[in-house]
Amino acid sequence: MKMHGIPFGTTDWSAIPPTEHAGTIGRAIWRTQTFGDIRVRIVEYTPGYLADHWCEKGHILLCLDGRLDTELKDGRKFVLTPGVSYQVADGAEPHRSSTDIGAKLFIVD
């Protein structure tokens, strides 16, 4: 990822309109900013959320609140709690997210 052509700026995430995205179960609420080819999001998953697909996009993801369970297609599982992050490259390892209690995340991809 190269960051270029992005002047200094601040983002008031509460002013970004949310969009809803259905999972297999539950919803994801995104607040999204795009800077060139870089997408930056605050994502909130409702309790009981389960992603509707195996994601192959690369991300840097930081858990801000709640608990996020991430499963890799090869069966490995990881738990993110506040202050814990993961990073994965495009096409590296298909992954999907779920949460029993809900989660709030900061994601760059």
Q: Return the domain boundaries, the chain.
A: 19-108
User: What CATH topology corresponds to 19-108?
Assistant: Jelly Rolls (2.60.120)
Predicted pLDDT of residue 1:
67
Name residue 68's beta-bridge partners: 80
Name residue 105's beta-bridge partners: 43, 63
Cβ-based neighbours of 15, under 8 Å, separated by 6 or more:
none
> How confident is the chain (109 residues) per 10-residue block, as mean pLDDT?
86 97 98 95 98 95 98 97 96 96 97
How far is Cα of residue 72 from the mean position of the Cα atoms in its chain? 15
Check if the beta carbon of residue 28 is closer than 8 Å to that of residue 50: no
User: pTM (2 decimals)?
Assistant: 0.92
